[in-house]
Structure 1
C-alpha cells in the first residue's frame, strides 16, 4: 500500500470482471499486513463499534466509499449480495464512509444516503468523517476493498470498481481457510439497475470532470476572472469534446461553483451513455429547480432518473444526480443544464 495521501478522485478499475470458471484453484494470497483498527471512526450505523479483536475468527471485507461517487454506487449490488450470501458462514462487511466533499461529512446526510441507496444490515457502516480510518489503512482510492482473513491479516485488495468475480473467489477461499464448510462456489450476479448499472465502457469517452478550481480541466468559459472568486461567464461559440463552460454569475471555490443569480447554466460536450453531476442547493439553501437539454432539445427518452422527459428536475439535497441515460448509438452530444433559481452548487461531472 502507498502513502496515506488523500486523492480527490473516484477510481474505475480497467477490468470490470474476470472469468475464473465454475470452481477456481486456490490462489496465492500473500499477507499484506495486519488490519488496522477502526478507532478513527466518528460513528457507526447498523452496528456497534467493531474492533480487530472482536472480528478475529471472521473474514472481513472493508470497503472505503463515499455516497456521491458513482464508482462506489455501482459497486453496491455486489456488496449487498455478498453480505447476505456469506453472513452465516463468517463474512463481515464493513463500509467505511470516507467523504470527498464537505457535505458528505454530515452524519445526517450519510444516514439519509444509506437509506436512499438501500445500504443497511448486515453491512455495518463506519462513519469516517475525519479520515482517521482511511489514514490508518494508508488508503488512496474510492472505492477500495480490503479482504482480511480470520487471523486479522489483509490478504487481498481491489482499487476501483470491478474485479467482482475474483473478489468473490477470494472471499470463498478465505472462508474455507477459516473452517467454513460447504461454501457455495457459485458467483453472485450483479443486479445493478438505474444509477447502479454497470458503465458502458465501450462508449465511455468522457472523464470525471471537476467544477471547482482545485482540479478543473478543459474549462473554456469566456469573460470574467477565470477561477477567481465571483465573476460573470459566457460560453464559447462552440465546444470541443470534453470541454465545458459556465454561463452567468458564479462564484468558483476550491471544490465547487455556486450560482449567484437565476438563469445560470453549465454546458458540456460529452461522449457517454450516462451523464451525472454531483450538485445540490448550497449549504442550508432552498430547493433549486433546473432544466436539462441535450443538443438544444429536451432529453425525451434519454433523460436520467432525476429528470423527466422534458428535462425538468429539482435539487433538494447535495448528492449525485443522474441527468442523462441514452440508448445507442452513442455519439458526441452537447449537454446543458439551466438553473431556474439561484443557489445551485456544482461539484463534479461523472459518466458511465
Structure 2
C-alpha cells in the first residue's frame, strides 16, 4: 500500500462541467476499532450530507502535506452540509496505538471525526490502495469522485461544491485559493522540480538500495559499516543495529544512518527507545555539521535534536540551491528505531 504519487485525480479531468459518475456507494463504517472526536458514525446516519472520506496515517508525509487543505474545506463548508471523516489506517505498528494517534490528532489540530481503521476493514471496503486518498460522497450515499495522492486541491474543492449544490445548498462561500494557504514545516508543498529521491524503507521487508558491506542481516544484531562513497539514493548503517521487517533498531550509542539524496527536504520516521526514553541525535551534511540555514523543523541551529515521539521528523530543509548531498544522522543514545526516509 504505497503513498500515492501526486496529482492522481478521479475521472474528472474532462473539464469543470463534465458529469461526475457514480463510482460506488459509501460502504459501512462499522469496521473501525475506535473513533476520535465523535461517536461511531454509520453510512445511514450520513445520508443527506455530502461526505469527504480522507484516508491517512499520521507519519505519512504525503498525508501531512494534504491535510491543511482538508482542514480548510471542513472549516469552509461544514455549515453547508459537508462532513469530513478521517480514516486513520496505520502503515507502521506504532500507528496502531490509539494513544499515539490521539496525540497526533491533537498536534495536527484535527477537529473532525477520525475512524481508527487498525484492521484495514474500511480500507478494504473502499478497495483503497493509497495514502492519502479522498473519496467524495453525495447526499444519496454515492461515491462521485476520488483523489489519490497530493495535489489537485482546486479540483477537489470544485467536486465538493458541485455535490453541495446538487444537495440543494445555496450561498456557498467563495472557493479557497490553494496558493494562499499558510503552509509551515512539513506541510510546505514538495519542491517537485528538485525531487530525485524516493521514499525508502529501512526494515528488511521493503528495504532497497542498502549499501553497507555484507547487506542486511534480518532480525539479528550486527555491526554495520558505512561505505566511503554512496551513489544517489543509496544508504547504509554504521554501528550495532538489529533490522526487523519494519525498522532498524540501534543497540549501542554512536550508530549512524547515511543517505545520498537529492531533494530540498529530508524526513525520517523515528521512534524513541521501547521504554519511551528519548534519544539524542546530531545531523551531518557532506561530513560537516548541518548548517543552521538548512535545518529542518526538528533540528536545532547546532544540528542537534531529540527523538521523543513515534512520528516523522523533518531533518533537512535546504533554503538555497538544491543539489545532491550525503546526509548522516548520529545517535548519541541507544534504542532509536528508524522506519523510513521521505523527501520533499
Structure 1 length-normalised TM: 0.93
Partner of 1:139: 128
Give the aligned partner of residue 252 of structure 2: 261
Partner in structure 1 of residue 235 of structure 2: 244
Cα deviation, residue 227, structure 1: 3.7
Report the equivalent of 1:3: none
Q: CA–CA distance in 2 between the matches of 1:85 and 1:258?
A: 43
What is the CA-CA distance between 1:14 and the residue it aligns to? 4.0
After superposition, the C-alpha distances for 1:7-52 in whole angstroms (9 at most, x for unaligned) are: 1x32231469xxx9xxx84331110111001101111111111111
Question: What SS class does the counterpart of residue 55 from structure 1 fall into?
Answer: coil
Whether the 8 Å CA contact 2:88–2:116 is kept in 1: the answer is: yes
Is structure 2 residue 2 aligned with structure 1 residue 13? Answer: no
Which one of the candidate residues 271, 274, 297 is aligned to 1:305? Answer: 297
Name 1:214's counterpart in structure 2. Answer: 205
Given that 2:7 and 2:148 are in contact with CA atoms closer than 8 Å, whether structure 1 keeps it comes out as no
State how far apart, in whole Å, the 1-side matches of 2:243 and 2:98 are: 26
1:184 maps to which of 173, 178, 181: 173
The 5-angstrom pairing of residues 88-167 of structure 1 reads 88-120=79-111, 123-167=112-156
C-alpha contact (below 8 Å) 1:285/1:343 kept by paired residues: no
C-alpha separation between the residues in 2 aligned to 1:133 and 1:284? 32
SS in 2 for 1:53: coil
SS of residue in 1 equivalent to 2:288: coil
Q: Distance in 2 between matches of 1:235 and 1:223?
A: 11
Q: Which runs of 5+ in 2 are unaligned?
A: none
Specify whether residues 12 and 192 from structure 1 end up closer, same or farther in structure 2 by C-alpha distance, changes over 3 A only. farther
The answer for the alignment partner of 1:331 in structure 2 is 323
Task: Select which of 67, 70, 75 maps to 2:61.
Answer: 70
- Partner of 1:322 in structure 2? 314
Distance 1:225 1:130, change over 3 A: closer
Whether the 8 Å contact between 2:157 and 2:175 is mirrored in structure 1 is no
Matched position secondary structure for 1:309: coil
Distance 1:309 1:66 in 2: 29
Per-residue deviation, 1:278: 0.1
| Alpha-carbon distance in structure 2 between the residues aligned to 1:28 and 1:302 | 46
Tell me, in whole angstroms, the C-alpha distance in 2 between the residues paired with 1:212 and 1:225. Answer: 9
The Cα offsets for residues 75-124 of structure 1, whole Å up to 9 and x where unpaired, read as 1110110001001110000000000001000111100011111112xx21
Q: Return the TM-score normalized by structure 2.
A: 0.95
**Within 1, Cα distance between the matches of 2:274 and 2:143?**
39
SS in 2 for 1:54: coil
The 5-angstrom pairing of residues 257-296 of structure 1 reads: 257-296=248-287
Once residues 211 and 181 of structure 1 are traced to their aligned partners in structure 2, the CA distance between those partners, rounded to angstroms, is 50
Quote how far apart the aligned CAs of 1:309 are: 1.7
Structure 2: distance between partners of 1:265 and 1:133: 38
Matched-pair contact (CA < 8 Å) for 1:224–1:232: no
Which residue of 27, 43, 54 maps to 1:36?
27
In the TM superposition, 1:78-93 aligns within 5 A as 78-93=69-84
